[in-house]
Structure 1
Amino acid sequence: MTDDDAPELPRGIALAWGVAADPQRGPKREMSVERIVDAAVELADADGIGAVSMAAVASALGFTSMSLYRYVSAKDDLLLLMQEQATGVPPESVRLLDGWRAKLLALYVEQVLLYQRHPWMLSLPITGSPITPNSSAWLDAGLAALDGTPLTSEERVAVALAATGAARWCGIVQAGYTEQSRGSGLSPDQVAIREAELYDRVISAEEFPALRRAIDDGVFTSPADPFRFAIERVLDGVSAYIDGLERGAPHEQNDDWIALDPAELAGDRRVKDAQKAVREAEKALRDARKAERQAVRDASERLSRSRR
């Protein structure tokens, strides 16, 4: 592919890489893409992504909305640049650690902290691979951590994505607890206790036996970090796989992507109606089994009373 055949960079990505043309005319020289993004990130950090609009950012800078559009032509571009700035680059200290596992775990921890500092980032949709500089730097760091291992390029990407995904999931849950704390005035520990109490009221051993046992074991008020446990076990699996490769085991490959049937993607009405019917039937079955369990309990109580 020649340069002429290559797709043109969208303006937001071009701005992130610093290759977009500056506006020919504009307001005072104090205005710049960097200042616009700084102001937008400050708004999002303080009040969430819902507080960010071109008008709000312009007001914070003392300019008009139209002035901003000379520098950032669309709100989607602004959101991308905000994410890019908040993401930053991985700490250099990660590269100085010994071993692929220590490096990947450190990247995981740093990404969780990143989401705690900027929880609004979790509200932004994932629209594809990280094409911006800082986002690319994180993926590069994950791949670099696996240099020297017998993993293939595809396997290294898979492992790096597993660590990134685990960090994002942890960030989503922790951000949710933080938001509850902010809205209720309760501490995160108090939120967890309240959550456990709510579960205790509605989860029965008859209907949800495994979840009931977990509640009784105090999982919702435990100080243990389930996300750290999970990422450690993922890395255990990667370590075992690498050990196998070093002993001569073959590489494994799975091409079975999870995907919707084309008929579902096309929005076929008959498919939607059939799926709705299945959901309703499954709900009816759960309700019937619940009624059955209640009937058995009632019958057992009557039998017990009659024998007294």
Structure 2
Amino acid sequence: MQNNDHSDRDALNDLPNGVKLSWGLGKQPSRGPKGELSVKKIVDAAIAIADQEGLAAVSMNRVASSLGFTTMSLYRYISSKDDLLILMQDAICEVAIPPETDGSDWREQMRAYLKACTDIFCSHPWFGDLSITSIPLGPNNLQVIDWMLRTMRDFPLNDYEKMSILLLISSYARSTGIIKRDMVRAIQAGGSAEAFTGLNYSAALKQLVQPERFPSLHPIVMSGAYTGENESENTVGDDFDFGLERILDGIQHYLDIKRED
């Protein structure tokens, strides 16, 4: 039994320091006045800086200054900026997970999951600037994953298939979240919403996109569909919603095949 306990401790020690802190496994410093600093206060301050000025503005020195402490004071709680970034990322992934209800529609649940994920990119624009360095390991990240897996509890799929669907939906959430974030950034920087529909460039593109060079694109440009003309004729609706619905249709089709086997 002691060997097992030792093995469990070794496994936890393999986790990055930032992940261990997110689980409350790190040792709190014994020196200094109690209550003046904490991991949460440091992370909250760093998130506030990143929200206002971007990820590049976050440094241990800057966070310490915003809290009125020396940089060395922060290192007693969080040992590096990399650990701080891990904690920031997990902190903003704390979302309100809807309660489980009997007979709830899995498609609606997945729509809610995707919205919660994409909203993070708009609420915290720096989130998409963080590189993916490992599988999710923090408690808030895993809580969101648990929510998504809950929607597939009754699916006739094995664990690997469920994880693949999770990756599919999460990847779509990330791509749409970053696009929406970039659109908001561009408009805040003085750009126009029309630039994203391309409506202002419609006439120019109709001259430039010739059928000899762009045989498949040309009729789309000429119809106005490429630049958002004649929106009243658009039966698809929001492009992102359309894409999600086709993904969900594909999942439904796969489920139907599995149930027939």
The TM tier, using the shorter chain, reads: 0.7 to 0.9
Does residue 115 in structure 1 map to residue 111 in structure 2? no
- Quote how far apart the aligned CAs of 1:202 are: 5.8
Find the aligned partners of 1:209 and 1:164 in 2 and give their Cα distance.
Answer: 34
Q: Which amino acid aligns with 2:111?
A: L
Query: More deviation in 82-91 or 26-35?
Result: 26-35
> Residues 85, 157 of structure 1: CA spacing in aligned structure 2 closer, same or farther, 3 A cutoff?
same
Q: Does the CA-based 8 Å contact 1:112-1:171 persist in structure 2? A: yes
2:185 aligned residue (179, 189, 196): 179
> Residues 204, 181 of structure 1: CA spacing in aligned structure 2 closer, same or farther, 3 A cutoff?
farther
2:35 aligned residue (29, 47, 56): 29
Give secondary structure in 2 for the equivalent of 1:139: helix
- Quote how far apart the aligned CAs of 1:14 are: 0.8
Q: Please list, as runs of the form range in 1=range in 2, the aligned pairs for 1:1-308 lying within 5 A after superposition.
A: 2-5=4-7, 6-7=10-11, 8=13, 9-26=15-32, 29-93=35-99, 95-96=100-101, 98-183=104-189, 185-187=190-192, 189-193=193-197, 197=201, 200=205, 203-216=209-222, 217-221=224-228, 224-248=237-261
Query: More deviation in 215-224 or 19-28?
Result: 215-224
Give secondary structure in 2 for the equivalent of 1:171: helix
> Residues 243, 90 of structure 1: CA spacing in aligned structure 2 closer, same or farther, 3 A cutoff?
farther
Find the aligned partners of 1:195 and 1:3 in 2 and give their Cα distance.
Answer: 64
> Residues 196, 169 of structure 1: CA spacing in aligned structure 2 closer, same or farther, 3 A cutoff?
farther
Find the aligned partners of 2:56 and 2:41 in 1 and give their Cα distance.
Answer: 19
Residues 229-251 of structure 1: per-residue CA shift (max 9 Å, x gap): 11111111111111122222xxx
Normalization by structure 2: what TM-score? 0.85
Query: Alignment RMSD, CA only?
Result: 2.3
> Residues 69, 221 of structure 1: CA spacing in aligned structure 2 closer, same or farther, 3 A cutoff?
farther
Instruction: Mark the runs of 5 or more structure 1 residues left unpaired by the alignment.
Output: 249-308
Give secondary structure in 1 for the equivalent of 2:6: coil
Give secondary structure in 2 for the equivalent of 1:2: helix
Find the aligned partners of 2:115 and 2:25 in 1 and give their Cα distance.
Answer: 32
- Quote how far apart the aligned CAs of 1:204 are: 4.3
Q: Does the CA-based 8 Å contact 2:97-2:147 persist in structure 1? A: no
Residues 85-124 of structure 1: per-residue CA shift (max 9 Å, x gap): 111134224x337122221111011111121111211110
Residues 154-210 of structure 1: per-residue CA shift (max 9 Å, x gap): 111111111111110001111111121122x234x2332568629827654433333
Q: Does the CA-based 8 Å contact 1:83-1:121 persist in structure 2? A: yes
Find the aligned partners of 1:70 and 1:212 in 2 and give their Cα distance.
Answer: 62
> Residues 59, 191 of structure 1: CA spacing in aligned structure 2 closer, same or farther, 3 A cutoff?
farther
> Residues 164, 193 of structure 1: CA spacing in aligned structure 2 closer, same or farther, 3 A cutoff?
closer
Instruction: Mark the runs of 5 or more structure 2 residues left unpaired by the alignment.
Output: 232-236
Q: Which amino acid aligns with 1:238?
A: I
**Count of residue correspondences:** 245
Query: More deviation in 59-68 or 70-79?
Result: 59-68
Query: More deviation in 26-35 or 112-121?
Result: 26-35
Normalization by structure 1: what TM-score? 0.73
Deviating beyond 4 angstroms after TM superposition, the runs of 4 or more aligned structure 1 residues are: 193-196, 201-204
Q: Does the CA-based 8 Å contact 1:90-1:137 persist in structure 2? A: no
Find the aligned partners of 1:23 and 1:228 in 2 and give their Cα distance.
Answer: 48
Find the aligned partners of 2:197 and 2:242 in 1 and give their Cα distance.
Answer: 21
Q: Which has the higher contact order (CA 8 A, sep 6+)?
A: 2
Q: Does the CA-based 8 Å contact 1:196-1:215 persist in structure 2? A: no
Find the aligned partners of 2:225 and 2:188 in 1 and give their Cα distance.
Answer: 24
> Residues 194, 105 of structure 1: CA spacing in aligned structure 2 closer, same or farther, 3 A cutoff?
closer
- Quote how far apart the aligned CAs of 1:12 are: 0.5
> Residues 3, 228 of structure 1: CA spacing in aligned structure 2 closer, same or farther, 3 A cutoff?
farther
Find the aligned partners of 2:5 and 2:227 in 1 and give their Cα distance.
Answer: 56
Q: Does the CA-based 8 Å contact 2:93-2:140 persist in structure 1? A: yes
